Structure 1
Amino acid sequence: MHEGQTLRVERLHDAPAHETAWTVAAYETPVSDRTWVLTATGATPAPVLEDLLDHLAYADGWDTTAGAPVDEKTITAATQPLTEAGWKHTVNGRWIRWTSPAADAGIQFDAFAAQHPTHTLTTWTVWASPDPDHPTWTLTASPRTPSSLLANLSENLAHGTGTRQIQVTGRDRRTSLATTPPAVPAVMASPAASRTR
């Protein structure tokens, strides 16, 4: 829990790989309803989780203005790294989808859910798998999830974090970050850690 008691991270250690294992929730005050929520399944790769937790710990602006609607500027800011990396952009009814050039990961935006900023409906869905209907791992976010947090996640996905394959030689077997359950991210000492959060 953040010292201001307005940001909470919960980890369910025994969650199956395809069920929610991580929940990040932000509140305007310690006793108010959720402002935004982000979840990640148990198979979400450790590099993705580490970057998410680092962003929450050290970045400014993880909170959002109460009632701030999701607009074109927010969507553009959140997905700019994907556009720059050549991800395919499609629109299908209420959904806007960005798919990696290798078609092994994607982000989907639900325009209907975004019209309800006071709710914590799933507005953003991130997945890794050639088949988005059967993802290896997913991450979901509600309408008021900060665009800076989403842009950071997009940047990592655009560079292959959590989707790339690692090949090793010898007796070691081939390992896929997309299917390997994560270790709990280690807390690393850094100059930023000495700052008051």
Structure 2
Amino acid sequence: MTDAEHQAAQTQTAPTSCDTTSNATVPALEGVPAYAADPGDHEAMLDGFFTENGDWEKYRTWDDNTTIASHESLTLRALFDHDAQSRDPKWTIAAYETPVSGLLWQMTVAAATPAPVLSSLLAVLAAGGAWDAAIGNSITPRMIAQVTRPLTDAGWRHTTHGQHSLWQTPPGDAGITLDSSAVSGTGMELTAWTLWAGPTVGRPTWAIDATADTPAGLLAHLAEEIAHGIGTRRTVSRPGPAASRQHTAALPPTAPPPRSSASLR
């Protein structure tokens, strides 16, 4: 082959950026409110909790799908469901007045709960801030004001329908609901508080449910996080139509190389 023929052959077979970027996606992290952040790795957060808090012990039950974290006082426990997904309860936290008494308060945390919100919850548990609950119906106007003050400060809307109250963001994509009729001491684990985020309050992406005697300080800490906290969410951007057309356009046909006198013989 002549030099011209070699050059033409290389032009036709050489890889180009057009062949590799036609369907390219670009992952990126964006800053979002804590309630809209990614869930993160709950398994890793559980392992980190044990590593950083020596006063909590790890137990495996007869069911390999669950792990129990128990405080050395034996009055606070967290059951972790390794198989829970999406809105299913991943964590069930239960507190007792004494190691042999009945349930004092309980909270369930969905598997899709954002990492910043879960981190705040675990920080309160690690700091010992979950033992200040009062026995009996603790839903008082003072408690309600304490829990919801961060939401009011952030400009969240408040509506009341009978014994049900709702505080939610102006767009309606996150909020806290309160059912003041769900008193404690009834022998039933009734949900009084629900922290949530998602399309609507009736169809949340994630939710945290808590009974009436859940400590006000713990709930206020979570309210502060969802009202003012910041997290990250992974997004994937795709090239626009114009860019896609540019990347997928075929190379113009190469003119045939000149035929040398040697190739004619």
TM-score range, shorter chain: 0.7 to 0.9
Distance 2:216 2:176 in 1: 13
Q: Residue 13 in 1 paired to residue 82 in 2?
A: yes
Q: Tell me the TM-score normalised to structure 1 length.
A: 0.78
Match of 1:128 among 175, 197, 207: 197
SS of aligned partner of 2:196: strand
- Correspondence 1:148-187 to 2 at 5 A: 148-161=217-230, 166=233, 173=236
Question: Unaligned stretches of 5+ in structure 2?
Answer: 1-69, 238-265
Q: Deviations over 1:91-139 (max 9, x none)?
A: 012200000123210100001103x345431000111013111110000
Q: CA RMSD in A?
A: 1.8
Identify the residue that residue 193 of structure 1 maps to in structure 2: none
- Are 1:33 and 2:83 an aligned pair? no
Structure with greater helix percent: 2
How much identity, in percent, do the aligned residues show?
45
- Spell out, residue by residue over 1:119-172, the C-alpha distance to the aligned partner (whole angstroms, 9 max, x if none): 4310001110131111100000000000000000000011155xx66466xxxx
Q: Could you say which residue in structure 1 is the equivalent of 2:125?
A: 56
Q: 1:74 aligns with which of 143, 165, 172?
A: 143
Q: Is the 8 A contact 1:38 1:142 kept in 2?
A: yes
For CA contacts below 8 A with separation 6 or more, give which structure has more relative contact order.
Answer: 2
Question: CA shift at 1:70, angstroms?
Answer: 1.4
Normalised to the residue count of structure 2, the TM-score between the two structures is 0.59
Q: Is the Cα contact below 8 Å between 2:129 and 2:218 reproduced in 1?
A: no
Distance 1:117 1:16, change over 3 A: same
Q: Which amino acid aligns with 1:150?
A: L
Q: How many residues align?
A: 167
The equivalent residue for 1:47 is 116
Question: Matched residue of 2:225: which SS?
Answer: helix
